[in-house]
Structure 1
Amino acid sequence: MNFYKNNEMVPMTRRYPDLKDKVKKRDNKISIQLIRAWDVERDAEKVLKIFLQNIDKLSSYRYWELLRSVWIICGTVENAQFFSSLMKSNKPNRHYFSTPEEHEFLRSLPDQMDVYRACNSPQDGGISWTLDYDYACKYAKDFQKNMVLNNKINKSEVFAYINRNNESEILIL
């Protein structure tokens, strides 16, 4: 099993909010800039810069969708607290951060669950955990992490569930 295969296909439903054409065009222009910065230039710093320069121009729907993509591309333990502050935004339509399938899966989880995190220190400040113990162990081995933490959390502590590349990622802010 290849745990880290880029762009692995997972089922997802696209959503199309009812926005004015002017807003759609502006959102799309910013999205295209981000896509070009990553897919063509492979420049994560540029992706983050474009997103931050355009936060106030994005519709709330696109803010959350793009924040998810920017987190996936740029999120690290070093900038986790910065991303946490972006994820705590009071912008409406927060549910657009996750796909409908991910949101439904999160709702189906029990009120308490075990999560795992590969790291070098229990106090590393990371916000990314996984529901999959085997994935955490494989990640620890592949990225030279010296421990896998286990934590029992309440579902109410979870910001989002992301299943990109079948990582079963849980974000805890």
Structure 2
Amino acid sequence: MGTEEAEKLYKFVEKLLDANARQVFQVLFEEGEELTEVDIAEKTGLKLNAIRRALNMLAEQGLVVYRRQKHPEKNRLIFYWKVNYEALPAIIEARKKATLEKLKTLLSKEESTMYYVCPNDGTRYTFEEALEHEFVCPRCGTMLVPDKDRELRIQILSQYISMLEAEINEDTKSR
């Protein structure tokens, strides 16, 4: 995996979870081997509580896995964490497909609904809502105007949908 692709993966983790999870995931990914919470703390500078929280969130998403082993002297369990490399492609693909469905729903709603906008604060109202308020903004009393950015929103949503569909198709072909 190249640097650019790895950075995309780290950003995905950060958007999905948070910055601490990204740091923890990045260390595990770049090390490519099992690490304990203490190892991760040494490499990230994060506190153990933040690392445990991040590891649990990453594990809930299926991005990392662990094995536990009893410490020979201290009679307690030690957890060894690593990236779940086998599951990564399926997790990313599922996220892309879920996002694609949300975008398609937004596009469908945008295409099938006429909106009116308050020129003062930009609040959008459906035609029915605008009619209910006699095309006057209920907040400030200004006349509502047809949403002039509707076509641009439809165009942008359509472009994102096309890009995501192409990405999903490319991922499917490369497997």
Q: Normalising TM by the smaller chain, what interval?
A: under 0.3
Task: State the TM-score, normalized to the length of structure 1.
Answer: 0.25
> Which structure: greater helix fraction?
2
Normalising to structure 2: TM-score of the pair?
A: 0.25
The one of the two structures with greater contact order (alpha-carbon pairs below 8 A, sep at least 6) is 1
Q: Looking at CA atoms only, which structure, 1 or 2, has the larger radius of gyration?
A: 2
